[in-house]
Structures are given as structure tokens and as C-alpha cells.
Amino acid sequence: MNAVLEKFQKIGIIPVVVLDDAKDAEALGKALMEGGLPAAEVTFRTEAAEESIRIMAEKFPDMLVGAGTVLTTEQVDRAVAAGAKFIVSPGLNPKVVKYCIEKNIPVTPGTQTPTEMEQAIELGLDIVKFFPAEPAGGLKMIKAVSAPYTMLKFMPTGGINAENVKEYLAYDKILACGGSWMVKKDMIKNGEFDKIKEMVAEAAAIVKEIRG
């Protein structure tokens, strides 16, 4: 397993972050680090994403900073140039996956169906995102597809929260969970970084409780 993906497993919950203003990136990075989840999947949905990745990667070299919602190879280049250590996409785009593999960049594409999971295996992946997790059947679905696809591990994202994350983390085919409940957009916008740190610490404690 790639060293970055091993870190995912260790961290357990990867905060999925939407930043509208890069000025919040440093304070958010500090809250994540101090709270005990030293990682961020910064979604490429906003204009501030690239600069936010650059700031977090520079200010917190020990933090695992990556880019989410990556839809094109051009976005891969921009994210990596900014300091992203991994790429996550909502769906499985073979062009983007192949591009990342060629450049030795860890990539976790979104899958939902057995067909997409087989495509991922064909492309040489053994770890996929399962998205949107809860609407697509959640842990029940992951357990069902794990029977034929024994080589796959999953990173479920979408609808995961403090209530259901324990159940996910306890299953051995779950590498890590993506979640945004502790880094909600409004809390970032309102500068509630102490509250974020507190919620991050609670999430980190859940990982410790389930995985030791």
C-alpha cells in the first residue's frame, strides 16, 4: 500500500473541506492538526482551493493535504503543483486515474457499483472511494460488494457523521472515512476554529476508541 494511503488508515477520518476564502486555510489547518486529524481533502469546488492547499502544505509540512472533487488532468496538475499529496474524485474517470498512476500520485476515485469497482481493479487500484456512501446503501452495500471484491478497501464519503462513523470504522474493509461534519462550511466562514478543533478532537477520539 502506498505510504500516503497507509497514513489514511492511521488517521481514520479524513476531513473533507470546502474553503471559500484562502485566508481561512491556515487557521483551519491549525485546528485540524491540534485536534488530532492531521489531514484535509480540500475540494476543488471553489476558486480558493488551490491557494488553500498551498498555504496548508507550506504551513503544516506534516499534514496530509490533498485535493478532492478533481475532475480533469489539468486540475490534477494544479493541485499537485500547489502541494496536494493525493487526489480524490467523486466518480471514476479512467483518464484521470491513469494520469495519476503514471505520475505516481495516489488517487482514490469514487465508485458506487460493481461495474465501477471492476474498472478500478482493472486500472490497478485496490482502494476506492465509495460515494455518496449513505444514499448508495452505506455499510450494508460495502459489506455486500466486499464478498466478491476481496482485494478492495473502501473510503466511504457522503452522509457520514459522528453517529454512524463508528460502525464504518469497525469494518476491516474500510481504510478511512471522509467526513465534513467537523469542518462545516458555516463554521469556517464564521471563524469558529475553536469549535472545529473541539469537534475534530471528538472525531479523533472515536478513531482511537474503535481502532486503538
- The pLDDT tens digits of the residues spanning 85-117 come to 999 999 999 999 999 999 999 999 999 999 999
Strand order in the sheet with 13-17: 153-156, 127-130, 107-111, 87-89, 64-68, 39-43, 13-17, 177-179
Contact between residue 188 and residue 24 where contact means Cβ atoms under 8 Å apart = yes
Output the CA–CA distances (angstroms, integers) from residue 20 to 63, 66, 79, 142, in the order listed.
20, 16, 16, 32
Output the CA–CA distances (angstroms, integers) from residue 196 to 19, 60, 119, 155, 183, in the order listed.
14, 17, 37, 22, 6
Residue 173 appears among annotated catalytic residues: no
Residue of 7, 50, 85, 129 marked active site: 129
Helix (H, G, I), strand (E, B) or coil at 157: strand
All 3 cell numbers of residue 95?
A: 483518464
0.95 cut: is pTM over it? yes
Please write the tens of the pLDDT for every residue from 34-93.
999 999 999 999 999 999 999 999 999 999 999 999 999 999 999 999 999 999 999 999
Residues 138-163 have a mean pLDDT of 98
Residue 129 appears among annotated catalytic residues: yes
Total number of domains in the chain: 1
- Give dist(CA 150, CA 153) in Å, integer: 8
Q: Tell me the average pLDDT of the chain.
A: 97
Can the peptide bond before residue 61 be classed as cis, meaning omega within 30 degrees of 0? no
Residue of 41, 50, 85, 153 marked active site: 41
- Give dist(CA 44, CA 113) in Å, integer: 24
CATH number at 9 reads 3.20.20.70
Domain range for residue 105?
3-211
